[in-house]
Amino acid sequence: MDLSYQRELVEGGQWWRLLSGQLVHNNSAHLFSNIVALILCRVLFLAVLSERAFVVSILLCSLITGGLIYFLLQHYDYYLGVSAALYGVLVAGSLHLIVGRHYWGGVLLLVVMAKLLRDYFYPAVLVSVSDRIGVPVAVEAHFIGVLAGVLLAVGQCIVILIRPATLPPK
C-alpha cells in the first residue's frame, strides 16, 4: 500500500497522507539516513525535551509540514520522507535550547540554516544524496520544515505562558 503524499489523493479526501507521506521512504538508504537524523535530534535535545515531548514534536512538525507543503508548495504533486519535519524539530529544539539558556542551541540553529542555504544555492552538492536515496532532495520542503519548527516553538511558548502550572515537568 502506497502511503506517500500525493496531492491529487489529498485533494480527493485522503488527508492522512499529509502525515503518512512523511513516514514512508523511497528506499532503505533514504529510511536509514532519516533514522540517523532522528536519533541525532533525540540526543541533541535530551536536555530540553522529554521523550514524550520529543515524539509529540515530531508528530506535530510532521503534520504542520504536510499541511504547509499542501498549501504553500502547490507544485509538489508527490512527496515522501521525514527530513523536512526533522528540520522543523531541529529548529524547534534549537529554540528550546536557547530559551533554556543552552546557548549552543544558537550555534546549532546557525549550522542548520547554513546547511539549508548551501543546499538551496549549491544544489550540485546534493547529487550524490539524490543518487543514494533514489529521489531528488526536496530542499523547498526543508524550508517548509523550518517554518513548521518555528510555528511549533512559538505555539509551545504560548501554551507555556498560558498554562505554566498545568504542564508536566520535563
Q: What number is the average pLDDT over the span 63-83? A: 96
Spatial contact of 95 and 158, defined as CB atoms under 8 Å apart: no
Q: What percent of the chain has pLDDT over 90?
A: 81
* pLDDT top residue among 160 and 62: 62
Spatial contact of 65 and 84, defined as CB atoms under 8 Å apart: yes
Confidence of residue 88 (pLDDT cuts 50, 70, 90): very high
* pLDDT top residue among 164 and 162: 162
Predicted local distance difference test score (pLDDT) of residue 158: 85
**In the chain, domain spans:** 5-162
Grid coordinates of 149 = 519548527
Confidence of residue 99 (pLDDT cuts 50, 70, 90): confident
* 67, containing H or E segment: helix 51-72
Kindly tell me if the per-residue pLDDT of 167 is higher than 60: no
The answer to which of 97-106, 115-124, 134-143, 160-169 has the lowest mean pLDDT is 160-169
Q: What number is the average pLDDT over the span 147-151? A: 97
Predicted local distance difference test score (pLDDT) of residue 161: 78
Reported as a single tens digit per residue, the pLDDT across 101-118 is 888 999 999 999 999 999
Predicted local distance difference test score (pLDDT) of residue 170: 62
**φ, ψ for residue 77 (rounded to 5)?**
-85, -20
Angle in degrees, CA 111, 156, 100, rounded to 5 = 55
Predicted local distance difference test score (pLDDT) of residue 163: 76
> Which residues, other chains included, contact 163 with Cβ-Cβ below 8 Å and sequence gap of 6+?
none
Reported as a single tens digit per residue, the pLDDT across 20-61 is 999 999 999 999 999 999 999 999 999 888 999 999 999 999
Predicted local distance difference test score (pLDDT) of residue 70: 97
